[in-house]
Structure 1
Amino acid sequence: MEISPADVVSRRASTWDGIKVEVVQSVTHDQVEFRFRAPCHLLLVYEEGVRDEGETAVGGLPPSTLRTLRRKLTFVPAGHEYREWQRPRVRSRIICFYFDPAKLPIHSDASPTAASLAPRLFFENNVLWDTAVKLAIAMEDGCESEHYCEALGVVVAHELLRMHVNLQRRRPPARGSLAVWQQRIVAAYIEEHLAEPIPLNVLAKLVHLSPYYFCRAFKQSFGIPPHRYHIKRRIERAKTLLADPASSVTDVALELGFSETSSFSAAFRHTAGTTPSEYRRTLA
């Protein structure tokens, strides 16, 4: 992966058969750019990271300006382009896994092929994140057991493939509704991009449908249109954030992508039937 300027990060790497793991950590708050395109797969695990400004793009997906990157993951299949720039508020720490497609642990017809692995931007997976962080700590502590570190890398590869298998499962849909695999992909994408505008055509493209048919099928599956579902999920996330007394209503509004506290309060009242401040008082 190309990083510029090179002196704003520290890099530490280890390599095993078919797997390379690199811990990339910011050492300043200066703007930094990342670029990658190679015949290997790349998994980025954001252990830490909050940016004042920035954008991340993976070929085939809409770019994201998400600010809080901690616990997020991004997958870049071999041959796809990854670009990111950021001005970090909190020094970022990214664990990068490079996988040789020819040596991935594929043992059955149910496993996805290299060609079928799809890019994913800023998703969450606790097993992948926890295992990656455990491996990074072992590397930095100078773990004497190379076999232990290599085993953790293999676990990450297995979990990555298992995640893609689950996403690709097909089940017959109810008449006029989205298939289960389509529901999972769309719901996960919305959850991963709550703080951003999500155009209807972007969601439709994810599940290979026209915007018109997608909108009808989505409502049939979820009971409400995509836009209302997106707002509802933002407000549900807001309720969780409001439970933290250290976060102000304005902080919560900004984290969820509202440019003004007033627009956040209006959306919250419309969905929850009360204002954010009133809701917080009920938690006391």
Structure 2
Amino acid sequence: MCFYDLEPGGLAPPGALPVARPAGLAPWQASRAAAYVERELERTIRVVELARAARLNPSYFSRAFKTTFGLSPQKYVVERRLTRAKRIMLTTDEPLCGIAATCGFSDQAHLSRIFRRREGAPPNAWRREQRQAAAVS
């Protein structure tokens, strides 16, 4: 377990006990977890599977994952799915229902709901705006 001092200057007040800070994933564990997400993005990814890839129990893995990546495993997976969806939208004319399936969303409505919440615009409108901006540049 890692410890850190209580004050920003690096010195703890006299008599203070060190406070435990959750340790992150080892580099090989982070790499394996990220690779597993990328490889299995099209299907449902469970924390238990990610933890198994990193050889940790799920509870500890979730805390360590968040310390390492700054996001919970579930949010990380959604972010990776959105990133892939954006890349596909910008480089192909594939319909949104196909993109949703390719990126692991349950259906087009799920992709649209998550996308609008994250980007502030529906996927087709975002795609149109991005392509227009690229055409002007």
Q: TM-score, normalised by structure 2?
A: 0.75
List alignment gaps of at least 5 residues for structure 1: 1-173
Structure-2 residue corresponding to 1:201: 48
Q: State percent identity of aligned pairs.
A: 36
Bigger helix share: 2
Q: Which residue, 63, 74, 85 being the options, matches 1:227?
A: 74
Q: 2:88–2:99: 8 Å Cα contact kept in structure 1? A: yes
Matched, 1:247 2:94: yes
* Aligned position for 1:281: 128
Indicate conservation of the 8 Å contact 1:204/1:210, yes or no.
yes
Report the AA paired with residue 237 of structure 1: R
Q: Does 1:259 align with 2:86?
A: no
In structure 2, how many angstroms separate the alpha carbons of the residues matched to 1:246 and 1:281? 11
Q: After superposition, where does 1:104-253 map in structure 2 within 5 Å?
A: 176-253=23-100
Amino acid paired to 2:59: Y
Give runs of aligned pairs for residues 6-25 of structure 1, distance below 5 A: none
CA RMSD of aligned residues (A): 1.6
- Range moving further from structure 2, 267-276 or 185-194: 267-276
| Structure with greater contact order relative to length (CA < 8 Å, sep ≥ 6) | 2
Number of matched pairs: 111
| Structure ranking higher in strand proportion | 1
Q: Is the 8 A contact 2:47 2:73 kept in 1?
A: yes
1:232–1:271 contact (8 Å) kept in structure 2: no
Normalised by the length of structure 1, the TM-score is 0.37
> Pairwise mapping of residues 89-108 of structure 1 onto structure 2 (< 5 A)?
none
**Alignment partners' CA distance in 2, 1:246 and 1:201:** 35
1:186–1:207 Cα contact (<8 Å) kept: yes
Distance in structure 2 (CA, Å) of the matches to 1:245 and 1:175: 42
Tell me how far 1:205 sits from its aligned partner.
1.0
* Residue type of the alignment partner of 1:268: F
Superposition deviation, residue 274 in structure 1: 2.2
Cα distance in 2, alignment partners of residues 177 and 278 from structure 1: 38
* One-letter identity of the residue aligned with 2:56: L
What SS is found at the alignment partner of 1:189? helix
Structure 2 Cα separation of the partners of residues 257 and 177 of structure 1: 27
